Amino acid sequence: MISPLAKAKSPQALRESIKTTERTRTFVEAVREATDEEMGLDPNVVLFGLDVDDPKAIQGTTQGLVEKYGAERVFGTPLSEDAMTGAAIGMALAGLRPIHVHIRMDFLLLAVNQLLNVAAKSRYTYGGRVNVPLVVRAMIGKSWGQGAQHSQGLHSFFMHVPGIKVVAPSTPYDAKGCLTAAIRDDDPVLYVEHRLLHFQKGPVPTESYTVEPGKARIAVAGDDVTIVGISYMQVEALRAAKYLEDVGIRAEVIDPIWLNPLDTDTIAESVRRTGRLLVVDTGWTNCGAAAEIVSRVAERLQGERAFRFKRMGFAPTTCPTTPGLEDLFYPNARTVAAAARDLVEGRACNWLPTERADLRSIEFKGPF
């Protein structure tokens, strides 16, 4: 689906649409701020999930909200992902705007029936007589031995089924704007947040604003290769662009932001210029989001523009916990840069940039 919103602005205009602001906030603060603002504006917004009201408050993203809005609008739940997702849908059918939080995305698998059989399908099944304005926040874990069941990016499952929007912001600016848009949206939205992004800081305007569905953002302009980085992999893609500068390659880095509806226009337009596409996902490549993005660009450009492409994502295995193997499981800035250079050169260069201290990955100190 091509969003009409995506057509409305040129990539250049989109780049400039990020308002300049002196105010810096973390991703966590941005999520909390959007929730607070929307709960203040609309009494129908309710927030719940396992541990949203505990002292850690979901990494701080729900801090202070129970005190401000009361235990009826902000509450911790029993360990019942299936029923609580079903209840969220029932609340939405009754006109509330529930935000259901999962501190680990892996637990969404316990709620897939409700999310895909009910939330995504209700509006259509009932001939447009109901809406399900539900937001599901789901966190992806990574590093420090998160292991098999605390590391998965399952967003592609939800991209597969029509009727549920999927958004995976990577900056604090988008964290606030996308969450505000998601809460105001009359359709179910899966809001994917990566644990490592919670540490990121960036400009976040004081005022309320939305980053609407179906708009990608060109984060760095370039002519040699298009790198699309999904969720946390946007950070690695930006670092990769720096490594590529050292060998004279100018990468265009695109953050798709919304995965459904997906802004194919912006990505395809970029590939039309660069002729090379590298999509880096925080998920497996098999049947994944990266495969979908590559396919859409190929469909769009076939017969008009040949291009080289590659998908990167989790190694096709279960996430190990031991550090050496865990590092190999994930793409990183250096392996992304190496793959991008191979695409540009059209051959295997066997190049891996020497690690630069200023481009080191976030050092995470556990436990969560």
Partner 1 sequence: MHARLFRSLYRIRRVEEEVARVYATDKIKSPVHLSIGQEAVSVGVCDALRADDVVFGTYRGHALYLAKGGDMNAMVAELYGKVTGCTRGKGGSMHLIDTECGVMGTSAVVGTTIANAAGYAYSLKLRRSDAVVVCFFGDGATEEGVFAETLNFAVLKRLPLLFVCENNGYAIHTSQAKRQGLPDICARARAYGMPAERLDGNDVLTLRDKAESAIAKLRAGEGPQFIEATTYRWREHVGPGADYHLGYREKSECAPWEENDAVRVLAEQIPTEQRAVIEAAVEREITTAFEFAETSPFPHPSELMTDIFTEDANDFAACQS
Give the pairing of strands 201-203 and 225-229.
unpaired
Residue-by-residue DSSP string for 247-290: TT--EEEEE--EEETT-HHHHHHHHHHH-EEEEEEEEESTTSHH
Q: How far apart are the first and last CA of the chain?
A: 37
Side-chain half-sphere CA neighbours of 11 within 13 A: 21
204 binds partner 1 (CB under 8 A): no
Annotate each residue in 54-73 with x if it binds partner 1 (CB under 8 A) or - if it does not, as one string: ------------------xx
90 binds partner 1 (CB under 8 A): yes
Catalytic residue among 33, 81, 212, 269: 81
Burial 193-226 (b: 16+ CB within 10 A, else e): bbbbbbebebbbbeeebbbbbbbbbbbbebebbb
303 binds partner 1 (CB under 8 A): no
Residue with Cβ nearer partner 1 (100 or 217): 100
> C-alpha dihedral over 237, 265, 135, 56, to 10 degrees?
10
Cβ 86 to partner 1, closest distance in Å? 2
Side-chain half-sphere CA neighbours of 195 within 13 A: 24
Cβ 13 to partner 1, closest distance in Å? 21
Rounded to whole angstroms, the Cα distance separating 119 from 68 reads 29
49 binds partner 1 (CB under 8 A): no
| Candidate list 20, 23, 128, 346; residue touching partner 1; CB under 8 A | 128
95 binds partner 1 (CB under 8 A): yes
122 binds partner 1 (CB under 8 A): yes
Would you say 223 and 192 are in contact if contact means Cβ atoms under 8 Å apart? no
Tokens of 30: 């941005």
* 160 tagged catalytic: no
| Candidate list 2, 18, 83, 221; residue touching partner 1; CB under 8 A | 83
Residue with Cβ nearer partner 1 (75 or 329): 75
Cβ 80 to partner 1, closest distance in Å? 4
Cβ 134 to partner 1, closest distance in Å? 10
Cβ 215 to partner 1, closest distance in Å? 14
| Candidate list 117, 149, 317, 318; residue touching partner 1; CB under 8 A | 117
* 150 tagged catalytic: yes
Cβ 248 to partner 1, closest distance in Å? 44
Catalytic residue among 150, 155, 194, 198: 150
Stretch touching partner 1 by CB under 8 A, among 88-96, 139-147, 168-176, 333-341: 88-96
Residue with Cβ nearer partner 1 (63 or 77): 77
- Closest to 108 measured CA to CA, from 88, 81, 131: 81
Angle at 276 between CA 301 and CA 247, to 5 degrees: 160
Angle at 238 between CA 234 and CA 239, to 5 degrees: 120
Site size toward partner 1 (CB under 8 A) is 42
Would you say 356 and 243 are in contact if contact means Cβ atoms under 8 Å apart? yes
Residue with Cβ nearer partner 1 (98 or 169): 98
Tokens of 74: 């902000």
Rounded to whole angstroms, the Cα distance separating 317 from 286 reads 11
| Candidate list 2, 18, 131, 300; residue touching partner 1; CB under 8 A | 131
Cβ 192 to partner 1, closest distance in Å? 18
Give the pairing of strands 97-102 and 45-48.
parallel
109 binds partner 1 (CB under 8 A): no
367 binds partner 1 (CB under 8 A): no
* Catalytic annotation, residues: 81, 150
Which residues are at the interface with partner 1 (CB under 8 A)?
46, 72-73, 77-78, 80, 82-96, 98, 113-114, 117-118, 122-131, 162-163, 165, 185-187
